[in-house]
Structure 1
Amino acid sequence: MGYRLSKIYTRTGDDGSTGLADGSRIAKNAQRVDAMGTVDELNCQIGVLIEYLANEAELAEVLRRIQHHLFDLGGEFAVPGSQIIGDGHIEWLEQTLDQWNENLPPLKNFILPGGRRDAAHCHLARAICRRAERVVVALGHEDSINMASRHYLNRLSDLLFVFARVLVRKEGGEEVLWSPTPKPDAE
């Protein structure tokens, strides 16, 4: 059996630091902690999204697998220098993305988040994923990271965009197209 937490509070973080899995301590506002926290937030949002997918077992199964990958990714950030996410994860995302995107019509306009509740939650997950990617890029500027983790988040945000498009089209739904505000001199 794996490691078990028998006590939830330790008081060791009361000084504004947190422990990494390698035993070192860093500030809770460090870029590495921000990366772990943003990936955790993304994982939580995907969990919320899954709860809206009662009739979408195949899509929910893909998202559950992604949740496990994201937990691994958080673990990777918790142990500086470790590499868990690799090319195989990225290739799987790309294949999954191609499969789900295959039957969607090409985009001719920008679309807005919405159209259905589950699609809106998927767009929110996509936006959090983009933020996670930005945080990981920033972390890479101050510390060495596994570049595959950055690539994984980039592909995942694309997949979440495609999933939102798939979901909004269920049962004859339509995407909400962006209607740009006319320039003041064009009125």
Structure 2
Amino acid sequence: MKLEEQLLKRSENQCELCGSGETLKLYEVPPQSSSNEDNCIIICEKCLAQIDRKEELDSKHWSCLTTSMWSEIPGVQVVSWRMLNRLSNESWAMDNLDMMYLDDERLAWAKAAGGLDNDTSVAEVHKDSLGAVLQTGDTVVLTKSLDVKGSQLNAKMGTVVKNIRLVDNNTDQIEGKIEGQVIVILTKYVRKQG
């Protein structure tokens, strides 16, 4: 039986954090060297988006931690502890954190991922002209004809750029190949395909 099937059975097809049954995904609790039942959990898209800081932290949603923090599953305990730390400006979260116990090994694992501040901001992400989140490897279409600086190349509107790469530390730029040449493209001039 595959790991994901085992976890779905264990969780009774519900998010192991909030109990939702909608669009469940396998989440490998970082850092880890190999996935197993202890360091992987099943979570819903809403929990995943907020854990990964792709969506604003919703403290009402995370009141579910009051229950999930008592789970016997190591991965659930670690994620609960991390999220309670991120919500530490909420009195209920601090109260739960004070009650929660992790042995030394799990506490070290929980602290290993960093991001333990009560930062509720959304991580900076690359978005196309319509607001869709871009990821490395995506295919995009140019929404405007672009002259490429330092070359004779003119990338026409509608040109498909496959297998893009995100530019680190600049969410307004991606890199892609057009006519065999790697160029930097502003995200406001592309639309994600597919």
Q: Could you say which TM-score interval applies, normalised by the shorter chain?
A: under 0.3
The TM-score, its normalising length taken from structure 2, stands at 0.25
More helix, by proportion? 1
Higher strand share: 2
Q: Which has the larger radius of gyration?
A: 2
TM-score (norm 1): 0.25
Highest RCO, 1 vs 2 (Cα 8 Å, sep ≥ 6)? 1
